[in-house]
């Protein structure tokens, strides 16, 4: 039941990964004039402070061995360098226009709450939050360590760096995280952005359970940017980071408020189930912010929402391709689908060029095919099978049985009547519209007795309580009238949170 509510909720909310800054002409002129002066001045000053900080931050580790670096820093290194680095980092952000930082509430001591969970994550500038919180340790992507200012701060405070693509590194990081969080104050407080990626702030996305695995108390921290112009945000699409920096520095100053919420101590049930714990903290923070808690996440740089271990893209490429085809005046979709399916079945050329696609579709201009290719790859090619299966699923023109037949036949290499793991992964990817990082898990469940056959696939997609939603909900046409449904969704958030406060925990798993 709760699972349904949550999914409906996500369906009603468009994903928050786009931020378009709307400026009036006056604001544009002002930003251009002020930016021309302030941007170089401020970024130059920030760079200067950073350069001064660089050797000081490095001094903290000078002459230490690898083992010593893996322990909490002690002695003069711990206290002597703290103030200079804090002041210099403050100067960096002061230069960028964060003249003051408003603080609401009280920060908990590390013994009360070893973990600070900060949200919503809006921008790279959010890292400013480490200053009012007294330079806690953070968890970050290893790529971040090479960034100016941020990189130096990361190293200075012995941050945990994860290589996100490396499962070993992630496992190791989880172990270190647990050690630090349960060290009873030997290690300093830790700060995380549990969303793991930035959004435009209109909804909270699913929290990563990693830091909640230790089951320690957490203090939720809200970040607000109460400005007339929302210049700070930088997310998947829309404003670029250069624009975010330009428009932020071209404001005379930028407001930021850090708000500490009361410490949240996990229940027994939450300790045992990090995903549940993360979800409940997410809901609590969403309620405090007055925005919905959704289950969107970003995977392989594509915004998706989760259905079991499937990742469903929020903007399915096939749906956009369908729109492009309709726009180009294609009326016989069934005919086109058949052509594509026959051509893929004949097994020749997996990838086809946009020019070939143009003639295959019988189009007069090349633009539509080029745009369709761009939905699937950076180049001018698209895998025809992928396009055919995706369009067949998104258009709803085939019966479920023939859709499954088509997808199965096109992926069953050598017509052996069953699918290998890789074929199964490709099939799901084609059906859903993006690569499926966790298909192996599902394949394992399905193939306990034998390699999955067409009927196994049909059973999965039409009978499995979770995956049948793929056909029954995901491929349904988009709902109209979002404005009407918003208050309803808000009601649901509230009722979620009521249940939450009572400690009657909600779990996705239960509904499965």
Ligand X SMILES: *[C@@H]1O[C@H](CO)[C@@H](O)[C@H](O)[C@H]1NC(C)=O
Residues at the interface with ligand X (CB under 6 A): 14-16, 18-20, 72-73, 78, 82, 121, 124, 135, 137, 140-141, 144, 147, 150, 157-158, 187-188, 193, 196-198, 200, 202, 226-228, 238, 251, 255, 502, 504
Q: What share of the chain is helix, strand, coil (3-state, %, to 5)?
A: 50, 10, 35
Min dist CB 25 to ligand X, Å, is: 18
Pick the closer one to ligand X by CB: 169 or 462. Answer: 169
Could you tell me the CA-to-CA distances from 58 to 62, 90, 128, 181, 304 in Å, in that order?
6, 18, 20, 25, 39
Strand partners, 221: 118, 260
Could you tell me the CA-to-CA distances from 336 to 76, 130, 192, 326 in Å, in that order?
73, 56, 49, 12
Pick the closer one to ligand X by CB: 371 or 497. Answer: 497
d(CA 295, CA 279): 9
Min dist CB 415 to ligand X, Å, is: 44
Min dist CB 347 to ligand X, Å, is: 41
On the question of a cis peptide bond just before residue 6, with omega within 30 degrees of 0, the verdict is no
d(CA 464, CA 443): 14
Min dist CB 62 to ligand X, Å, is: 14
Min dist CB 137 to ligand X, Å, is: 5
Min dist CB 416 to ligand X, Å, is: 43
Strand partners, 66: none
Pick the closer one to ligand X by CB: 159 or 395. Answer: 159
Min dist CB 316 to ligand X, Å, is: 16
Helical (H) or strand (E) element with 286:
helix 274-289
Burial class, 224, CB count within 10 angstroms (exposed 0-12 / middle 13-18 / buried 19+): middle
Pick the closer one to ligand X by CB: 89 or 406. Answer: 89
Min dist CB 438 to ligand X, Å, is: 20
Q: Give the closest residue to 384 by CA, choosing from 343, 324, 435, 328.
A: 343
Min dist CB 465 to ligand X, Å, is: 25
Phi–psi pair at 337, nearest 5 degrees: -60, -45
As given in the structure block, the two tokens for residue 401 are 């049985």
Q: What angle do CA 372, 376, 382 make, to 5 degrees?
A: 75
Q: In what order do the strands lie in the sheet with 115-119?
A: 102-104, 257-260, 218-224, 115-119, 190-192, 137-141, 160-162
Min dist CB 185 to ligand X, Å, is: 10
Q: What angle do CA 370, 372, 374 make, to 5 degrees?
A: 70
Pick the closer one to ligand X by CB: 205 or 461. Answer: 205
> Could you tell me the sign of the dihedral formed by the alpha carbons of 293, 295, 300, 301, in that order?
negative
Pick the closer one to ligand X by CB: 80 or 334. Answer: 80
Min dist CB 33 to ligand X, Å, is: 16
Q: What angle do CA 109, 197, 89 make, to 5 degrees?
A: 55
List CB contacts of 314: < 8 A, sequence separation 6 or more.
14, 15, 17, 296, 303, 304, 305
- Cβ 183 vs Cβ 162: under 8 Å: no
3-state secondary structure of 483: helix
Pick the closer one to ligand X by CB: 95 or 140. Answer: 140
As given in the structure block, the two tokens for residue 474 are 């995901």
Pick the closer one to ligand X by CB: 291 or 428. Answer: 291
Min dist CB 198 to ligand X, Å, is: 6
As given in the structure block, the two tokens for residue 199 are 């959004």
**How, if at all, do strands 18-19 and 237-238 pair?**
parallel
Pick the closer one to ligand X by CB: 97 or 429. Answer: 97
Phi–psi pair at 204, nearest 5 degrees: -90, 140
Pick the closer one to ligand X by CB: 396 or 437. Answer: 437
Min dist CB 290 to ligand X, Å, is: 15
Pick the closer one to ligand X by CB: 224 or 454. Answer: 224
Pick the closer one to ligand X by CB: 202 or 485. Answer: 202
List CB contacts of 430: < 8 A, sequence separation 6 or more.
383, 385, 386, 389, 390, 407, 410, 411
Pick the closer one to ligand X by CB: 228 or 450. Answer: 228
């Amino acid at each position: 039941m709760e699972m349904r509510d949550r999914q409906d909720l996500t369906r009603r909310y468009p994903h928050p990964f786009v931020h378009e800054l709307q400026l009036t002409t006056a604001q544009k002129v002002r930003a251009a004039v002020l930016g021309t002066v302030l941007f170089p001045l401020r970024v130059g000053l920030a760079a200067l402070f950073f350069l001064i900080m660089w050797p000081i931050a490095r001094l903290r580790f000078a002459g230490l061995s690898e083992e010593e670096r893996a322990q909490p820093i002690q002695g003069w290194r711990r206290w002597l360098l703290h103030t200079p680095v804090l002041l210099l980092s403050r100067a960096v952000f002061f230069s960028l226009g964060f003249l003051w930082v408003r603080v609401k509430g009280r920060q908990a001591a590390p013994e009360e709450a070893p973990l600070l969970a900060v949200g919503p994550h809006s921008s790279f500038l959010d890292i400013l939050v480490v200053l009012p919180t007294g330079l806690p340790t953070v968890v970050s992507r290893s790529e971040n360590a090479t960034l100016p200012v941020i990189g130096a701060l990361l190293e200075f405070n012995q941050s945990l760096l994860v290589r996100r693509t490396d499962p070993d590194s992630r496992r190791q990081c989880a172990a270190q995280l647990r050690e630090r969080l349960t060290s009873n104050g030997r290690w300093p407080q830790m700060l995380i952005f549990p969303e793991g990626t930035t959004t435009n702030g209109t909804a909270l996305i699913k929290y990563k359970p990693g830091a909640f695995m230790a089951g320690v108390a957490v203090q939720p921290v809200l970040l607000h940017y109460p400005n007339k112009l929302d210049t700070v945000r930088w997310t998947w699409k829309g404003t670029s980071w250069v624009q975010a920096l330009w428009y932020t520095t071209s404001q005379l100053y930028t407001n930021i408020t850090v708000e500490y919420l009361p410490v949240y101590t996990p229940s027994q049930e939450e300790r045992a189930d990090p995903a549940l714990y993360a979800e409940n903290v997410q809901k609590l923070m969403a309620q405090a912010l007055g925005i919905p808690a959704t289950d969107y996440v970003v995977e392989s740089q594509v915004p998706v929402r989760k259905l079991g271990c499937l990742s469903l893209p929020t903007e399915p490429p096939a749906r956009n391709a369908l729109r492009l085809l309709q726009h180009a005046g294609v009326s016989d979709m069934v005919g086109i689908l058949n052509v594509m399916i026959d051509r893929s079945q004949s097994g020749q050329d997996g990838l086809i060029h946009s020019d070939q696609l143009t003639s295959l579709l019988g189009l007069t201009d090349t633009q539509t095919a080029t745009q369709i290719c761009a939905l699937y790859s950076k180049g001018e090619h698209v895998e025809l099978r992928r396009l055919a299966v995706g369009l067949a699923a998104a258009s709803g023109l085939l019966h479920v049985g023939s859709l499954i037949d088509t997808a199965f036949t096109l992926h069953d290499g050598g017509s052996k009547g069953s699918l290998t793991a890789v074929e199964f992964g490709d099939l799901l990817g084609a059906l859903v519209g993006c690569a499926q990082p966790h298909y192996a898990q599902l394949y394992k469940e399905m193939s306990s007795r034998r390699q999955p056959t067409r009927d196994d696939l049909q059973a999965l997609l039409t009978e499995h309580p979770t995956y049948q939603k793929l056909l029954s909900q995901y491929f349904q046409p988009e709902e109209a009238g979002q404005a009407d449904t918003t208050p309803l969704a808000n009601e649901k958030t509230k009722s979620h949170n009521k249940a939450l406060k009572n400690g009657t925990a909600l779990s996705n798993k239960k509904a499965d």
